[in-house]
Homo-oligomer: A and B are copies of this chain.
Amino acid sequence: MDFTASTAGLASAAADVARLLPTRVVDPVIAGLVLRATGSGVELAGNDRERAVSLSRAATVHDEGAVLVPARPFAETLRGLDEPQVRVVVEGSRLAVRTGRGRFALPLLDLHSHPGVPALPPLAGRITARVLASAVVPVAGAASKEDALPVFTGVHVQGAGSRLELIATDRYRMAYSSLPWSGGELDVLVPASLLAEVVRQPGAGDEVSLHADDDRLALAWRGGSVSTALLAAPFPDDRARKLLEATIDSTVLVEADALAGAVRRAVPYAGPHGAVTLQVDDGEVRVRGSDPQAGESEESIKATVDGNRLTKSFQARYLSDALKAFSGRRVELRIQDGLRSTVLTAQAGDDGVELTYLVVPLRTVS
């Protein structure tokens, strides 16, 4: 194998493969990166049996071939190079990365022991990368980061009829998005952190195809694909969807970024529980914090209010996450009675993505 390629392009692909595969695998073959040069360019790939990644880059191929090398030093070497072009060539038992005055020689691992990249499962449908990302990123952010309860680390993706629906919850907040779908049936629980990473891989305008079977979901686009094992846990759909049916006590329409700014400024006063209070008033929302050491804060944000005047307390970071999902837009807060969730929604954008975010209020002494 022998090829010349753009250092930046090759470096970004190697970094993505190294990042999308977990960092600590005992078996160096499974932690390795497959590099394959063919007439049309080079493919960088990895498969740790949970996840499989394949990314393509343009290259001038002098000699075709395929090798397996340690992923991390290969990625770090490319990242550190100053030269715009790099030569990559097999020399004996080494893969040499060559620059004008330097040679970086990686050991060749046993390519035949590597599982390779599995074929894509059957096609379920297609969607523009930008649209998919705008639905996936806020929903994936509402999933739990703790592996103790796997079902809460996943995004439930369901395609049925003309809509694709995504839902995730960590039990303290829940996010739901719905977008136009012309594909077939789909019902999978996907690791949220991987899904959020993967939707950033293709170009914004690229078309992404979704592929699924009973065991895997794959996303593929021009020049790349990622597949992941599904989470094998029953998502509590009925309970989740029931939460979406709000009995509204008060509706507040407000600029999401203005409210997010006020919440951020109340954080130094959010106290030991990180709590901020929203007081719905005539034509405004007052954002308040109170802490025995730091003191008190109050800031008012203009709002269109419909319904009862009331007061709710929230975890500041959950409220901030929810508002961030609506950045640049007006958001509607549908506030329910007692300890029932507050529902955040906005008008669907031009891309047809509808987003609903639920935040559970804090129990307060009032």
Counting chain B CB atoms within 10 Å of each CB, which of A77, A82, A264, A301 scores highest?
A77
Contact present for A70 and B293 (CB under 8 Å): yes
Of A59-67, A99-107, A133-141, A319-327, which stretch is located at the interface?
A99-107
Contact present for B102 and A294 (CB under 8 Å): no
Of A111-119, A182-190, A239-247, A265-273, which stretch is located at the interface?
A265-273
Closest to A299 in B: B102
**Contact among B94, B107, B301 with A101 in the assembled complex (CB-CB below 8 Å):** B301
Closest to A76 in B: B268
Q: How long is the Cα–Cα vector from A298 to B99 in the complex, in angstroms? A: 10
Q: Which of A239-284 contact B (CB under 8 A)?
A: 261-262, 264-265, 267-269
Q: Is A80 an interface residue (CB 8 A)?
A: yes
Q: Is A38 an interface residue (CB 8 A)?
A: no
Contact residues in B for A297 (Cβ distance below 8 Å) = 77, 102-105
Minimum CB–CB distance from A275 to chain B (whole Å) comes to: 15
Closest to A101 in B: B300
Contact residues in B for A261 (Cβ distance below 8 Å) = 80, 82
Q: Is A28 an interface residue (CB 8 A)?
A: yes
Q: Is A296 an interface residue (CB 8 A)?
A: yes
Minimum CB–CB distance from A296 to chain B (whole Å) comes to: 5
Contact present for A107 and B76 (CB under 8 Å): no
Residues of chain A having any CB pair with chain B under 8 Å? 28, 70, 72-73, 76-77, 80-82, 94, 99, 101-107, 261-262, 264-265, 267-269, 291, 293-301
